[in-house]
Amino acid sequence: MFLMIGVNDKEEQLDYEGVMTCDVCGAYGRYEVFLVCSVLYLFFIPTFRFNYRYYVRTSCCNTLYELDSGIGEAIAKGERVRITEEDLHLLNRGRTYKKCIYCGYATGEDFEYCPKCGNKF
């Protein structure tokens, strides 16, 4: 007889209500809070969960943050907490603003040349 062990990551969306103004794109959006944990399977039965991580994704531009685990745990327990900027660590910017160094034109699109003055970004 041999032991069958496997590890899989599991993602779960948590309930979090509250609107915010996005730091990255400046639009109104919502934070979508996710819990990711690793699950140890023993003979295909989930037996042990570990390595809990919490992430936040913005609904406006899909920017991804890592969330402070204390706040993440509170949300997972259903406590009413507010996510503040200090709880978030930027992982991946969503739509980024490009700004033309010649005329100051800012855009969320991935232009190679400035649509206003024609210079290269």
CB of 84 to Zn ion, least distance (A): 16
- Binding flag, residue 30, Zn ion (CB under 5 A): no
Q: How far is the CB of 39 from Zn ion (least distance, A)?
A: 31
Q: Cα 33–7–38 angle (5° rounding)?
A: 25
Can residue 20 be called a binding residue for Zn ion (CB under 5 A)?
no
Question: Of residues 30, 39, 64, 105, which one binds Zn ion by CB under 5 A?
Answer: 105
Q: What are the distances in angstroms from CA 92 to CA 40, 103, 112?
A: 28, 27, 21
CA distance linking residue 66 with residue 93, whole number of Å: 12
- Give me Rg for the CA atoms of the chain: 20
Among 20, 56, 61, 71, binds Zn ion (CB under 5 A): 61
| Residue 86 three-state SS | helix
- Mark the segment that binds Zn ion (CB under 5 A) among 13-21, 22-30, 42-50, 77-85: 22-30
Q: Which residues bind Zn ion (CB under 5 A)?
A: 22, 24-25, 58, 60-61, 100, 102-103, 105, 114, 116-117
